Amino acid sequence: MRANKKILRWLIIEAVTGLIMDSIIGPIAFVLVGLMVLATFLKSIKQDPQPPEITFELHYDEKSKLPPRVVSSGDLDQLAQLTVEQLKDICRKSGWRGWSRLRKAELIAFIRDSVT
């Protein structure tokens, strides 16, 4: 009889514990699954398409008129004797764009192309 009471007590404790766990864990699991589904849905909506690739091109063929005081076509032969800073100063005063990262030989070619 005593063994039956222990078994009965154990069964009652297990049943009550199971009910408590089911009543707590069940809704929590349901809410967690719902949140995961909602997060996946929102992520699929929010994904932006890849932005288009932007390419930059330098247009050296754009000719601009130089003021005669900066450089003239007669001065083109003397460009090789100037320093890089002097060449950049010519480009700066002329209002050209795209010359700031050029090396000396490229600057000379850039100025010649712009003048002629």
In the chain (116 residues long), the average pLDDT of successive 10-residue segments reads 73 76 75 81 69 51 47 67 84 80 85 76
Q: Rounded CA gap, 71 and 84, in Å? A: 15
Give CA torsion, residues 56, 104, 116, 86, to 10 deg: 110
Coil vs helix vs strand at 113: helix
pLDDT given for residue 108 in this prediction: 83
- 8 A C-beta contact, residue 39 and residue 89: no
pLDDT given for residue 71 in this prediction: 59
Q: What is the pTM of this model?
A: 0.37
- 8 A C-beta contact, residue 90 and residue 70: yes
pLDDT given for residue 58 in this prediction: 44
Coil vs helix vs strand at 58: coil
pLDDT given for residue 59 in this prediction: 47
